[in-house]
Amino acid sequence: MKCQKYSFRKIISALLTVWSITLCASHAQQIKGNGWTVMQQDGAWQFRYRGELVTAYQTKNVLRPYFYPLIGPTGEGVTRNFPMKEGVADESSDHPHHRSLWFGLGKVNGIDFWHEKEGAGKIVFTGLKGVQIRNQTVTLKTADDWIDPKSGLKIMEDRREFSFHKKPNGDLNIDATITLMATTGDVKIEDDKEGAFAIRTTPLLRLKGPVAKGHILTSEGLKDNDAWGKRAKWVDYYGPDSKGNTYGIAIFDHPSSFRHPTWWHARDYGLFTANPFGQGHFEKGADKHTGDHTIKNGESLILKYRLLLHHGTTQEANVPEAYELWVNE
């Protein structure tokens, strides 16, 4: 009986520990557990694993939230530093709206939520909805308002859930579920090549440029520039870091995600996006509004992706198997 009582007490204690981490997260400045530390600093939520910085979610004084820096499995940043940090060797200064890892759309109710220019819409972080640490995984939940720059009114809301899991070999899974919500009327997302779940890689992972050594491979076997505008379950960029260690950035599109398998705006200069709203711009001969979609008032749309930062090439990391394991979880 003592053994049973002790086991029951341990179970209750463990459940309360998980509950307290989740419950207090929205008010705490620092949450720790299972190797992870999540802390708020300078308007960003930092994620550290065993003391080492993994990434930070930037939400203060920004046109739209983004993750920067993003540290890969070899210990180096995997995204371009510009425009967050200028003057880094071998980096270009084009496309200042390409902020590391972010989410945006080219045209929502006629408003540009992709570029950073006069008249662009703003995605405003409205609050943290919780942080949970469980079984070596940390999950961040947030809310945002999409604001019309002319009227200042909200045209849409979103809810985001990001989960981070470090594997024993140092690879990192980042799961992203983004729910777009029509809460103030119908929302029309227009066909546009710009969008949606996006990353801008380091110069070494580019296909072209003075230091470019990267490659692209899709789930359909398409390589490099042939990947642009095509549909696929996943796409992987891989190449060397500054010390010659090979690593890759793969994005997976979940079967439950809107318009799976998605189209890919995968460019040779390091832009890499999953975009389910660009069919008319990607497919030759398609009507330019083929990819339009309206979210009716009171309804929502779900996008679900996994970002895998892995050691080695696509084959060495066995990306196809990793994708199948994810979709069958």
What is the pLDDT at residue 28? 52
What is the pLDDT at residue 25? 44
**Residue in the structure block whose two tokens are 């029951």:** 8
Q: Helix (H) and strand (E) counts for the chain?
A: 4, 20
Domains of the chain listed by start with CATH number:
2-327 (2.70.98)
What is the pLDDT at residue 3? 40
Question: In this predicted model, what pLDDT tens digit does every residue of 91-133 receive, in sequence order?
Answer: 999 999 999 999 999 999 999 999 999 999 999 999 999 999 9
Below-70 pLDDT ranges, the chain:
1-28
Q: What Cα–Cα distance (Å) separates residue 166 from each residue in 27, 75, 136, 206, 231?
A: 25, 13, 7, 25, 28
| Three-state secondary-structure class, residue 207 | coil
pTM, rounded to two decimals: 0.92
Which of 327, 310, 326 lies closest to 318 in space, CA to CA? 310
Query: Is the alpha carbon torsion for 134, 137, 138, 143 positive or negative?
Result: negative
How far apart CA 266 and CA 247 sit, in angstroms, is 18
How far apart CA 9 and CA 245 sit, in angstroms, is 47
What is the pLDDT at residue 5? 41
How far apart CA 109 and CA 117 sit, in angstroms, is 17
Q: Are the C-beta atoms of 186 and 160 separated by less than 8 Å? A: no
